[in-house]
Structure 1
């Protein structure tokens, strides 16, 4: 079927990464250990190629270890004379150069999950040397594509540009966002948890060392032109949510099963294969933290029992709701949060679920707590969004006898970690059962309700 045939798929996977590398093989073997530790069949369709996908993503996402700044800068410095015998500065004689809103991503050294970076970088040329503008992005990306934490990332970009182009000064501001990943137990207690952990860091050299200098003032003013208002926050060891859960005083993931030693060793092997030293003090606890997060999605094969309610048809007589055609009542529950783990890339995705359904005249709607529990039950597994949507719809249908529509909106971490780097991309999937599959007016009414709710929130 054209681009979807098996040969083309394998060809796509080979682009950018040598699949014969010992490092790639080592990561694949480690991922198989992780999948087996989660109770998965590594030969199951859907995850059979997961080890290769994960290896490719990790190798691409840490390619900065195999790149050198001097290879980028050399040949990209150009002479620019600037002003002669005049008051002021411009061009290669001291005019500020700024590139805003560079979208980068980096793998967090504390948990091995990717975090988003909005990078603003500028410099003041000197010695009649200016750098090709695209190289500011490329140099920044070299250091982003390593296991990182925000402040070190900013400092490394700043130092590399200062050393490479020898300007009067370099300024770097990073706005970083890390997904706050919860556990099943914590979301059952509080579904409205914060999604992102945000931090803003900066680094400056030369004329930018003094935050009250004219150079710094100009730099910040040029950012404000485009609505970028910088409020610097300080990083700490607890910037990564996985480090927060290390604290005894926090609500830790106490119900998560103890880390499997084979799985921890597998993650250690991945770190070594990426070119890092797993004994570096910042990385010592990383394998256990990654496994601790992953074990939230262990395939437990438990029977479906949600909030103490088994799956049985609901028949409590408490009439309410909005009367719709055919004698039924349409009900909806919108913006039910969910968290899940992509079975193709072992990366988290999260979002909201909207559920619409019909009740027969005189029957009560389903409790919101039950619907939310159903969403979490299917979310906390290795999943794909399409299957998640179908499973929720079929489960709700089994309680009501048929007429159900489900919309799932999700943000996928793999959209930024696999080279696409499109922050804010959102995917939507729909499942329609019973009357919704034939009644276009009912579908339109439900979708309009979602639009109204989102517009008002």
Structure 2
């Protein structure tokens, strides 16, 4: 985050990454092209090391291309008495083995943004052998750390475990969540856009091959406590990734988007450098879609359009000790350190002094979107909103930003469920602790609509 010391942070970035590695350098060069296409100064402090950060995230997040399942399972198979087909329906003493709630992430092959995965794996041992339980997680992670779509990911995990363990059968259930694709225009028209596209997919082998008529599946789903969910076959990739949905505001066919060819070529180079074939059919449109997402955050002068919106139009006579507030103003932004989205809610509190109007929610939401839709860091976003609102109401403002950062799951940290809060205080709020406490007490609890 922006509060980190740049020099120390760069040392941490370089750990585990060969700076002379040609693939890493190729990704860095490609990211510089993308930043220039966004109108950014690649030498600007704060963004100068972004190419290295992005390269590290992509290399870390796609390390599965360099890993082999047999290297993980080899030496992790253990003999276990009682696993005889003549004893019991599912292996006798061994029975069904289930590992639940594995938190994974993968890069969507359609748009190159990360999506989150809650993975559940089960198998029925055979041949009087079991596998170390941690290997189920590690094998799943190998395939998650590649460009993926949900159904293929489930199938690859299932097939790899079936081939590696040779059990009576393997079952895999994935609950996947993908960020949707808002644009500034769509959010100004409707601030209640759904945040997530979700899907549940299944794959089975052996005794789990038949999903419709299998007692083993019944046992497996009961252990997952997912019986209340409607189990459906996976949808097509057109429906899964919001970038390809006809209902998406970012749908290329609807917007007539014309991508910068240099930026498209740069994304193609990134795909090559992580070990994928950009000519694979599923990846043919990916560079254009990724560039289209980035162009939502092109450096513009949107903030200048706010001039005049906070004019002193009439005297405000209500008690000036009253704290006025707007809670849960939604926002989207793009982390300038990693070129990955972050989103959340913003709470604004202010005292309205004489000569100033109360602020309509629509104005505050516009301010939030104008500063959100650009390459940002959360600390700067918080400050910019506070300073702008301060000019509208006479100076006394407090802003709290609660955000969920995709980069917290996709660059080796993998802190699922974490969130970040930042605060900016101006005027009376900076000296009056009781006013700050009163405003903070009024902030509602998290709505729980985040996945990260």
TM-score, shorter chain, exceeding 0.5:
yes
TM superposition score normalised by structure 1? 0.91
For 1:452 and 1:418, the matched residues in 2 are separated by 28
Aligned-partner SS, 1:33:
helix
Q: Classify 1:330/1:359 alpha carbon distance in 2 versus 1 (closer, same or farther; 3 Å).
A: same
Query: What does residue range 305-320 of structure 1 map to in structure 2 within 5 Å?
Result: 305-306=305-306, 310-317=308-315
2:273 matched residue in structure 1: 273
For 1:109 and 1:384, the matched residues in 2 are separated by 26
2:429 matched residue in structure 1: 436
TM superposition score normalised by structure 2? 0.92
Query: What does residue range 364-375 of structure 1 map to in structure 2 within 5 Å?
Result: 364-375=357-368
For 2:369 and 2:281, the matched residues in 1 are separated by 35
Q: Classify 1:17/1:107 alpha carbon distance in 2 versus 1 (closer, same or farther; 3 Å).
A: same
Contact between 1:170 and 1:204, CA under 8 Å: does it hold in 2? yes
2:327 matched residue in structure 1: 334
2:127 matched residue in structure 1: 127
2:158 matched residue in structure 1: 158
For 1:85 and 1:260, the matched residues in 2 are separated by 61
1:167 matched residue in structure 2: 167
1:243 matched residue in structure 2: 244
1:392 matched residue in structure 2: 385
For 2:295 and 2:256, the matched residues in 1 are separated by 7
Alpha-carbon distance, 1:82 to partner:
1.4
Query: What does residue range 354-369 of structure 1 map to in structure 2 within 5 Å?
Result: 354-361=347-354, 363-369=356-362
For 1:414 and 1:220, the matched residues in 2 are separated by 32
Q: Classify 1:87/1:161 alpha carbon distance in 2 versus 1 (closer, same or farther; 3 Å).
A: closer
For 2:376 and 2:202, the matched residues in 1 are separated by 37
Query: What does residue range 56-67 of structure 1 map to in structure 2 within 5 Å?
Result: 56-67=56-67
1:21 matched residue in structure 2: 21
Alpha-carbon distance, 1:400 to partner:
1.7
Contact between 1:92 and 1:128, CA under 8 Å: does it hold in 2? no
Contact between 2:121 and 2:136, CA under 8 Å: does it hold in 1? yes
Query: What does residue range 104-115 of structure 1 map to in structure 2 within 5 Å?
Result: 104-115=104-115
Between 1:158-167 and 1:5-14, the stretch displaced more is: 5-14
Structure 2: stretches of 5+ with no match in the other structure: none
Aligned-partner SS, 1:391:
helix
Contact between 2:243 and 2:251, CA under 8 Å: does it hold in 1? no
For 1:68 and 1:215, the matched residues in 2 are separated by 29
Alpha-carbon distance, 1:271 to partner:
0.3
Q: Aligned Cα RMSD in Å? A: 2.4
For 1:40 and 1:251, the matched residues in 2 are separated by 22
Contact between 2:83 and 2:127, CA under 8 Å: does it hold in 1? no
Contact between 2:177 and 2:196, CA under 8 Å: does it hold in 1? yes
Aligned-partner SS, 2:48:
coil
For 1:133 and 1:46, the matched residues in 2 are separated by 42
Structure 1: stretches of 5+ with no match in the other structure: none
Number of residue pairs matched by the alignment: 442
Q: Classify 1:339/1:296 alpha carbon distance in 2 versus 1 (closer, same or farther; 3 Å).
A: same
Aligned-partner SS, 2:343:
strand
Alpha-carbon distance, 1:444 to partner:
1.2
Structure 1 residues 278-336: Cα deviation after superposition (integer angstroms, max 9, x where no partner): 11110000000000010010012356114xx634434334656xx4xxx4432101111
Q: Classify 1:206/1:390 alpha carbon distance in 2 versus 1 (closer, same or farther; 3 Å).
A: same
Contact between 1:223 and 1:229, CA under 8 Å: does it hold in 2? no
